Amino acid sequence: MQNKQMVSCAIISIISFFHSSAAFAEGSIDETVNEIFASATGWFVNLIFAPLPGTSFPWIVLWLVTGATVFTIYFGFIQFRAIRHSIDLVKGDYSDPDDAGEVSHFQALATALSGTVGLGNIAGVAVAVSIGGPGATFWMVLAGLMGMASKFTECTLGVKYRNEYADGTVSGGPMYYISKGFKERGVPGGRFLAGLFAVFCILGALGGGNMFQANQAHAQISSIVGDYPGWITGIIFALVVFAVIVGGIKSIASVTEKIVPIMGVLYVSAALIIILMNADKVGWAFEQIFLGAFTGLGVAGGFVGALIQGFKRAAFSNEAGVGSAAIAHSAVRTKEPITEGLVSLLEPFIDTVVICTMTALVIIITGQLTSDPATGLYLVGESGRIITADGSSGVALTSAAFSSAISWFPYVLAVAVVMFAFSTMISWSYYGLKAWTYLFGEGKTTELVFKLMFCVFVVIGAAANLGPVIDFSDAAIFAMAVANIIGLYFLMPIVKKELNSYMSRLKSGEIKKFND
Amino acid sequence: MTTKLIVGLDGAEPGERALDHAKHLSKLIGDCTIELVYIIEWSPYSFQTPEENAMRHKRNEQETKTATERVISPALATLKAEGFKANGRVLHGDAAELLNKVATKEKAQQIIVARSKESGFAAKLFGSVTAKLVMSAGVPVTVVN
């Protein structure tokens, strides 16, 4: 019965998509998709980003920041005091040689990172600094540092409460720790909250994990080869995604998984080169970042505008508190769930504090943001964004910044964007699928319905305009954090108990390094 | 004290050659145990998709089971039928590193491996297990041609 309902749901969504395609004869396909999409998702976006009464501050941003602050304080600034041990864990110093052949800490970290490092770091940061100014970078880094504690909490729980099946496979994530953890602590409503998370996770997978990626990949490709309809990119992408997630063609996924880290290193190296080439402007850039953080330097909403953008982009990029990484990390078979939490706290650091800051510095240093020389304030256009040197936004802005120093870099960036987008889609198709099977049960038909729907959304994402897609993507990802952080508040004492026990055994020498 | 010989098996002809040599030595030595080792190449630093991670434990068990059934168990059965003392194990990791580790742990006198027929280019590009083992082993290594 459930399966029937799902199949009909999927069929309806596919039919409505292709029905809208029928209207394409009248106007352009992209415009039609965009209109339908914007009108269908507007209410959801408004609800998630509703401002706090009497302010322009979205409640959801406060929600995330409060969560990260609470976890930072509750765990005694774990992100700073345990980072050395986290690195030792990733290096494998504490890995039992008898566990060889299982997923290592490094692999879990790399897999989770390939789901988060991507367009958020390239396009997202460009959006943040073009709306919030350089000051957004400061708040983004701060949110990244605080988010390390959120990530630590959720990934520890992800491993502790995962489901292990008789065939040796595992499923984990917020939906499992919320339902099982609440039951264990005698807190009511666990199943409802877990279900709510799963619904939001599916939306997040289709939004930020899919449509936003397809959209920006198309933007990047068309900036190189010239403008052409987005649905063409969408269909090509959808076919490749289909080949991997439905066709099971592992070689495509494994090639991507190997290329993505290389692209990441290449991206950071190029950014470092540009920063070094403009070493004399680094001091000025940091001045702009600090000044902008507290004054706004003329951006819409002043320093609050910078703060909102910084926090929003950090959360969208590193997904701390969102719960997605907990799904990725739960595959590790460790006797100590806390070790997985400690490893995962490196993600927001690598993703936001290092990579996002690189992007922001390159955009600022290469002078992409125009300002009034007389006042030093940034010039804001009618859209509320700072007027950029060539009028670009999103990934095109990052591309323009890199090309101003390295003319051929947009080609590398285009490949990187496509690869990042693809690996993020593959990761999120898995997160979404886990949420889907949590709600509707494991089974081949159930999985196929989700996978087909995922492919249809690739086409919609590539064809829609940036505005509605980015709004929906943000809203869907942040909605996951609503249910997840409530769950984390109730379950954080369990993490604390695990942490204290682990740390005392580490101190007493009971937990030893295996590598001599 | 029994003499221990470590033999690296690969489920193919070179492994058989190494084992033949070990049997020959064992007969000459007399009190000798042959320790068979089959290594599934695996690195904790490779990159995997979330789905591959979720399936990893299952695959790990399958790989160990297959290697035991197809390589180690038949070899052990033959050795025991022929009157040799032998043990076997399947491990995941870097072949050269693990052969050396087992040799040290078992206080073995020698590691016996056979040269594979890897082409010159591939061997140059990826480095051969044998070359790495000869360079790094803590006990004498015999490479059977």
Q: Residue type at B24?
A: H
Residue A24, pLDDT score: 43
Chain B CA closest to residue A168: B58
Residue A296 has pLDDT above 90, yes or no: no
| Best mutation target, A319, A430, A451, A454, to test chain B (most B CBs within 10 A) | A430
Residue A375 lies in a domain: no
Residue A8 lies in a domain: no
Closest partner residue to A101 (CB to CB) among B40, B54, B55 is B40
**A-chain residues near B89 (CB < 8 A):** none
A430 and B51 in contact by Cβ < 8 A? yes
In the structure, what pLDDT confidence band is assigned to residue A15 with cuts at 50, 70 and 90? very low
Taking the C-alpha atoms of residue B135 and residue B145, their distance in angstroms, rounded to an integer, is 17
Task: Tell me the residue range of the domain where B62 lies.
Answer: 3-144
Taking the C-alpha atoms of residue B137 and residue B139, their distance in angstroms, rounded to an integer, is 6
Q: Say if residue B61 is exposed, middle or buried (CB neighbours under 10 Å; 0-12, 13-18, 19+).
A: middle
Q: How many CB pairs under 8 A join A and B?
A: 89
Number of domains in chain A: 1
A103 and B55 in contact by Cβ < 8 A? no
| Best mutation target, A87, A102, A164, to test chain B (most B CBs within 10 A) | A102
The answer to whether the beta carbons of residues A100 and B93 sit under 8 Å apart is yes
Q: pLDDT digits over A29-60, tens only?
A: 667 777 787 788 888 889 988 988 887 778 88
Give B88→chain A minimum CA distance, Å.
Answer: 16
Residue A419, pLDDT score: 87
Residue A421 lies in a domain: yes
**B-chain residues near A427 (CB < 8 A):** 49-50
CATH number at residue B16: 3.40.50.620
Closest partner residue to B57 (CB to CB) among A115, A333, A426 is A333
Lowest-confidence range among A4-13, A168-177, B47-56?
A4-13
Lowest-confidence range among A219-223, A404-408, B70-74?
A219-223
CATH number at residue A485: 1.20.1740.10
Residue A417 has pLDDT above 90, yes or no: no
Closest partner residue to A169 (CB to CB) among B54, B64, B91 is B54
The answer to whether the beta carbons of residues A479 and A64 sit under 8 Å apart is no
Taking the C-alpha atoms of residue B86 and residue B76, their distance in angstroms, rounded to an integer, is 6
The DSSP output letter for A99 is G
Number of domains in chain B: 1
Task: Tell me the residue range of the domain where A339 lies.
Answer: 29-49+56-94+102-369+383-508
